Amino acid sequence: MVKTLDARTSQGSKGQGVLTPSFTNGVPLLFAQVGLQVSNPGPIIRTLFSGVVTVTANQLFNNGSLAIEVYRGLGDSQQLVYRAERTVLGNPFFSPSVLSFTGSDYNVSPPANGQLVYSAYATFSYGPDTGVSNVRLGPESFNATVYSDD
């Protein structure tokens, strides 16, 4: 039987509005981090996560891209477990641009300290001649739930 060990949400914004800090062209921005408590897990641990990031593209002259990366662990021991990317059209008609994602991490080793940490980064890349600001909008959130077998 499957049991839920913990569930957490990191919420940057519930609604639309400019968020700070904004993106720097091509530089990953930590937008969410959760610490899941894993006590007395069964033999197989797995995590299901989802989230949403929204950017405005109404100042772009050319298309850009928005990438999401989710890592397990902290510092030098971080391990990439998920990556998604989408094109952001440089046209006010298609702005804002929303990237929602769902992923999983299977057969996770139990953490020695009992806390499983996931960090979510967003990278917004656009043409070097484009001077954009205030491109990070809400909603923005990251959800993670960790399960194990009995």
Residue-by-residue pLDDT tens, the chain, 150 positions: 899 999 999 988 777 677 788 888 889 999 999 999 998 898 899 999 999 998 887 777 788 899 999 999 998 889 999 999 999 888 778 778 889 999 999 999 988 899 999 999 999 988 776 566 667 887 899 999 999 987
The overall pTM is greater than 0.85? yes
In order of their start, the domains of the chain are: 2-149 (2.60.120.660)
Between CA 137 and CA 15 the distance in angstroms is: 8
Quickly count: other Cβ atoms within 10 Å of residue 21's Cβ.
Answer: 7
